[in-house]
Structure 1
């Protein structure tokens, strides 16, 4: 599960990716939870940076806000076709989260529910940006017509590298494959192959004292 993610500001993303952005500048977010507005590019607008609500909203939702009784911010890879919520989005509504990395909490004594947990910050090795596969939708308020673009991050079982830290991980996308993931002219079957679990050497992790600490990020060469 991925429930805390780090995002660079809009100006840095635009500079690095050369995408279009039409909104007001958005600052770095060093501790973004589900329900936050997060930077993505979508299959509908692959060259435009947009900010979507991180949690998929069901059509019957009446508030336009996440219902935290249901973990709709993550979509399990093995349930993409069996779940009505995810299966209708695979063909034409894919997106890529543009992250700097994410946090995960490692139980130091796995059989002890009260054990201390070590915070890890995890990212693509040697890169400023880490891309994660997602699905998106647009919720519409039936009374006012308000539109709320929203999204969910796809997750896998952990690879060997991640397994000591946590049993699940995001579905990472190699940078050169992002455009193919968003290309709806490619069959869903072929696109899903692009987000198979990454090799162990794709990732690097850093032990952190606490989340959102600028000084700790500066020590590893980020947000300087």
Structure 2
């Protein structure tokens, strides 16, 4: 699963990925961002524009905000779940992060844990495949654009920390994932598992410690 990420400020993201930046867009960096907050993304609807979507997807057909977890979507269930299947081939997005956090259990009672920041090697940003949707709050008329991060079984690098991980993307695969001109089977191939040694994992003593975090970069 993926429940905490780190993100850069909007100017750094837009410049680093050559994305259009709205004039009124003000989003600071956040080194410990949880679900419900807004994630930076580019989508198949606007692949050249930096957008921010609520992290926890609300399906368009929902009568209210889901009471169950929707910040992650298992790749194994995408074509079956009512929350995700209507989005496949239609509403894909790429989440832009500096990395994500996982905790390694250090004892059987899980009283001691070591936090790790995990990111892609040799890439300025760690990109994750996602799905997005737009929901109308019928009580207020508010439009809410939201997203979920797709997860898969952990690869060899991640297994010692967790049995799941986000579907991480190279720049090439990120562009494939949001390319509406391609058929869905071709886009799904972009979610292929990472090869070994494509990740780097840095220990951190306290998630959210700005000074320690910046020393990692």
TM-score by length of 2: 0.95
How far residue 188 of structure 1 moved from its aligned partner, in angstroms, is: 1.3
Alignment partner, residue 71 of structure 1: 69
1:29-81 deviation digits (Å, cap 9, x = unpaired)? 1111010011000000000000000001133243xxx54x4110000000001
Question: Counterpart of 1:152 in 2: which secondary structure?
Answer: strand
Aligned to 2:161: 165
1:148 and 2:149 correspond: no
Tell me which residue corresponds to 1:94: 92
Moved over 6 A (4+): none
Q: State the match for 2:25 in structure 1.
A: 24
Counterpart residue number, 1:175? 171
Trace 1:200-211 onto structure 2 (pairs within 5 A): 200-211=196-207
- Structure 1 residue ranges without an equivalent (≥5): none
* Unaligned segments of structure 2, at least 5 residues: none
Match status 1:138 vs 2:134: yes
The corresponding residue for 1:42 is 43
Q: Residue 97 of structure 1: CA displacement?
A: 0.1
Where 2:87 maps in the other structure, the secondary structure is coil
Aligned residue in 2 for 1:33: 34
Please give the alpha-carbon distance, in whole angstroms, between the structure 2 residues aligned to 1:114 and 1:92: 41
TM-score (normalizing by structure 1): 0.92
Alignment root-mean-square deviation, CA? 1.3
Deviation per CA, 1:7-43, whole angstroms, max 9, x where unpaired? 0000101111111121322110111101001100000
Helix, strand or coil at the partner of 1:211: coil
Residues of 2 paired with 1:114 and 1:203: CA distance?
25
